[in-house]
Amino acid sequence: MARKKSKPLDAAFVLFDVFYEDGSRSSNRRVPSELLGGIDGDDPALEAIQEQDRIIAEKSGRRPLAIKSLVRAGEAEKQAARQAEKASRRN
């Protein structure tokens, strides 16, 4: 008898890539999925990651870096590919 495929479980976390103003990048930063969605979309993720950065900076004795942009993990590569495709069409 064939086995049914299981439905995907609701993920407890959503991964984000964080780009800082100094040009550095932090990949796969976890944000609880219950913070996201609704009217605000991914906006609460910025606050959660800023809080994570503050805690990390406090423990390391450094100042937290300023965040330039925040993108769901994997989306940055898709955006770069789209931009490269658009640029190649222009030429």
The pLDDT tens digits of the residues spanning 19-41 come to 999 999 998 999 998 888 877 88
Rounded distance between C-alpha atoms, residue 75 and residue 63, angstroms: 28
Question: Which amino acid belongs to residue 19?
Answer: F
Residue spans of the domains in the chain: they are 13-90
Q: What is the pLDDT of residue 12?
A: 87
Rounded distance between C-alpha atoms, residue 91 and residue 84, angstroms: 11
Rounded distance between C-alpha atoms, residue 70 and residue 78, angstroms: 14
Tokens of 30: 């976890």
Rounded distance between C-alpha atoms, residue 7 and residue 38, angstroms: 23
Q: What is the pLDDT of residue 38?
A: 78
Confirm whether pTM is higher than 0.85.
no
Are 41 and 33 a contacting pair, CB within 8 Å?
Answer: no
